[in-house]
Chain A
């Protein structure tokens, strides 16, 4: 046992007592943090799931529309239609602090404000299917970006929860019991010393008395 290395002194005892009270306070705080993180995480994970299912369905749908469009156009016409896009999407990334985890917040900016700029091709040489396909994809885009934000947040939160949980467990099951054990050991040792001194004194007193008065 680790107790073999402890100095049974009052100074060590004070130090350990201080350590214990810090550990208990830290444990309480971390536990609160973990619970709150968990609450937010579960909210977000539910949202994440719903959004992902929605987005996946929409993307698959859009994909099938693109297949349809590509069927009625030559590959060359299709590539040239898609070659020069007018629209550009930029993201402004800011951070939101959730229980000391920085989660990203995306603000979407487009190069041109006109939503029709996604049709970057002339209408003469492309099929109408391409228009519907592009439209359906552009409808998904806000959700796709939202998904990116939420999914990333979920990943970051889950990592933080795991870390916090480990800390809570380490404090609860290792640090705090060990310190308590050490404190107990030192108290016992000090008490034992105290009793030893007491008996020694009584013994000495007896010897002194018997020497002096012959009791």
Chain B
């Protein structure tokens, strides 16, 4: 049985704890890296991570994009939103199709 984890700064994600997701607080990417590695190799099927932290972990996150689990999903936090989440969707369309045909409207 898999679990769901959330990584982010305290203010952005503490609410997820009450829903029953496992929250892991990290204030910056450096702190988040060991946590993220642990979780990704652990029993988590989905890891939500704030865009702010994901920015510094892009290389690490990329590694898991071709494995069936875990799914690493970027969510907006309170601050430092980069729009990377939607950009990733764009990127996968570009990769598959060759050019972006979903977002160019």
Contacts and interface: CB of A to CB of B under 8 A. Distances in A.
A82 interface: yes
Interface in A40-87: 41-42, 45-46, 48-49, 52-53, 55-56, 59-60, 62-63, 66-67, 70, 78-79, 82, 85-87
Contact of B71 (A38, A41, A67, A151): A151
A97 to B, nearest CB: 11
Given A56-B86, A93-B45, A148 B11 contact: no
A104 B46 CA distance: 11
B57 interface: no
Contact of B76 (A59, A159, A161): A59
A118 interface: yes
A158 interface: yes
A20 interface: no
Contact of A91 (B2, B66, B76): B2
Contacts of A62: 15
A147 B73 contact: yes
Interface string A88-132: 111111010000001110100111000001111100000000000
Judged by DSSP, the binding face of A is helix
A34 to B, nearest CB: 10
B18 A118 contact: yes
B15 A133 contact: yes
B34 interface: no
A49 B102 CA distance: 8
A95 B71 CA distance: 13
